Amino acid sequence: MKIAFIGLGNMGGGMAANLVKAGHEVQAFDLSPDALAKAAENGCTTFTAVPDAVAGVDAVVTMLPNGGIVKAVYTADVIGKAPAGALFLDCSTIDLATAREVAELAVAAGYEMVDAPVSGGIAAANGGTLTFMVGGDDAAFEKAKAVLDPMAKAVIHAGEIGAGQVAKMCNNMLLAVHMIGTCEALALAEKAGLDPQKFYEISSKSTGYCWSLNDYTPAPGVGAASPADNDYAGGFASALMLKDLRLAMAGAGTAGAAVPLGEHATKIYEQFVEAGNGGKDFGAIFTTL
Ligand code: NAD
């Protein structure tokens, strides 16, 4: 297939390279000349304008920072410029309202579109082991799956358009809450006189088990290897977790859902990021306790 890829940053760069490896012809665009140069090294054909990159393609994949940018790129330079009937896949994490609005505009203009946000970080993007949660109708999902498979460990049909973003915001709100809870429990164990490693051994096999404790233990030198063992460098930045929590809070507002722990987690990450810790892995909340 001929696929346009727009947004070749930390995530998109590796994803586009995996499409090339799978034998697709990838037409790449990014505002950053460095990102474009790297994409060229990885076998993409590069363009300096979006309408040129989407000319003649079967599908357009976007991996961009936020909903405002996604909407601007699609409305100004993709809708009406890509060939009629092309499939659009937005893999960015964005707000639900924008995801639905852009898809409606695309469908009204004769295209198919899915929202397909991902779980997994830069290593999974490079390794082709992302989990995609896809919103769109059955026909669009089947076509999207063929595009996403080379970048994926799993491609899951979440439901109608927007359902992928709903899954993503709910998953990451849950992740934030259990990460903070894990940090609190580890700190409490230690302060109350229990070796945190012993606590890990017990709770990871008891009803307290969860991904944050079992697989990504946020206390240095305890339990599973994680960025905590490297002064919280790398991993999933607290600023990105805050972005996802804010999207979840906006989504909860629109849906009229009560999310008291989600709200509290958002405040905790807000304070942490405002104190200058946005680049630290999200498990670094442990250091505040
Ligand atoms: P990034 O900032 O590294 O990359 C974004 C890229 O988009 C940059 O190269 C930037 O130059 C480009 N860009 C910005 N505006 C553009 C425009 N108008 N036209 C073309 N290119 C433009 O961000 P990232 O970490 O790759 O994240 C991308 C998306 O993936 C975000 O929505 C993020 O929330 C989501 N995500 C990130 C991670 C992660 O661990 N980094 C994990 C899951 C999901």
**In a shared domain, residues 237 and 126:** no
| Ligand 1 centre distance from Cα of residue 215 (Å) | 26
Gap between the Cα atoms of 152 and 132, Å rounded = 7
- Kindly state whether residues 92 and 184 are assigned to the same domain: no
Residues 122 and 195 in one domain: no
Can you give the pLDDT at residue 234? 87
Q: Across-strand partners of 89?
A: 61, 114
Predicted local confidence at residue 255, as pLDDT: 93
Please identify, among 125, 159, 193, the residue that sits at the C-terminal boundary of a domain. Answer: 159
Tell which atom from ligand 1 comes closest to the C-alpha of 94: 32
* Nearest alpha-carbon partner for 27 in 58, 70, 69: 58
Q: Which two tokens stand for residue 67?
A: 């909903």
For residue 205, give both structure tokens: 């096999």
CATH number at residue 182: 1.10.1040.10
- HSE of 38, CA atoms in CB hemisphere, 13 A: 17
Give the torsion sign (CA, 231, 66, 147, 13). Answer: negative
Question: pLDDT tens digits for the chain (289 residues)?
Answer: 999 999 999 999 999 999 999 999 999 999 999 999 999 999 999 999 999 999 999 999 999 999 999 999 999 999 999 999 999 999 999 999 999 999 999 999 999 999 999 998 888 999 999 999 999 999 999 999 999 999 999 999 999 999 999 999 999 999 999 999 999 999 999 999 999 999 999 999 999 999 999 999 999 999 999 999 999 998 899 999 999 999 999 999 999 999 999 999 999 999 999 999 999 999 999 999 9
64 lines ligand 1 (CB under 6 A): yes
Please tell me whether the interface predicted TM-score (ipTM) of this complex is above 0.85.
Answer: yes
Same domain, 58 and 87: yes
Query: Cα torsion for 19, 21, 23, 29, to the nearest 10°?
Result: 40
Q: Do 127 and 259 share a domain, yes or no?
A: no
Record the pTM.
Answer: 0.94
Question: 93 in ligand 1 pocket by Cβ < 6 Å?
Answer: yes
Question: Which of 171, 141, 163, 156 is closest to 96 using CA atoms?
Answer: 163
Q: Answer yes or no: do 115 and 12 share one domain.
A: yes
Q: Whose CA is nearest to atom 30 of ligand 1?
A: 92
**Same domain assignment for residues 260 and 179:** yes
Cα-to-centroid distance, 123 and ligand 1 (Å): 15
Do 51 and 74 belong together in one domain? yes
CB 35 near ligand 1, within 6 Å: yes
Task: Say yes or no: 148 and 187 in one domain.
Answer: no
Number of domains in the chain: 2
Residue 198 appears among annotated catalytic residues: no
**Would you say the CB of residue 63 lies under 6 angstroms from ligand 1?**
yes
pLDDT at 121: 86
Tell me, yes or no, whether 146 and 91 share the same domain: yes
Verify that 122 and 28 share a domain, yes or no: yes
Structural domain boundaries enclosing 251 = 166-288
Verify that 179 and 226 share a domain, yes or no. yes
The residue out of 135, 159, 183 marking a domain boundary is 159
> What span, in angstroms and rounded, lies between the C-alpha atoms of 157 and 145?
9
Q: What is the CATH number of the domain that holds 36?
A: 3.40.50.720
Catalytic residue among 38, 71, 168, 243: 168
Which of 159, 176, 204 delimits the end of a domain?
Answer: 159
Q: Residue 175: its pLDDT value, please?
A: 98
**pLDDT value, residue 195:** 98
Could you tell me which residues come within 8 angstroms of residue 266 by beta carbon, excluding any fewer than 6 positions away?
176, 242, 245, 246, 248, 249
How far does the centroid of ligand 1 lie from the alpha carbon of residue 238, in Å?
Answer: 15
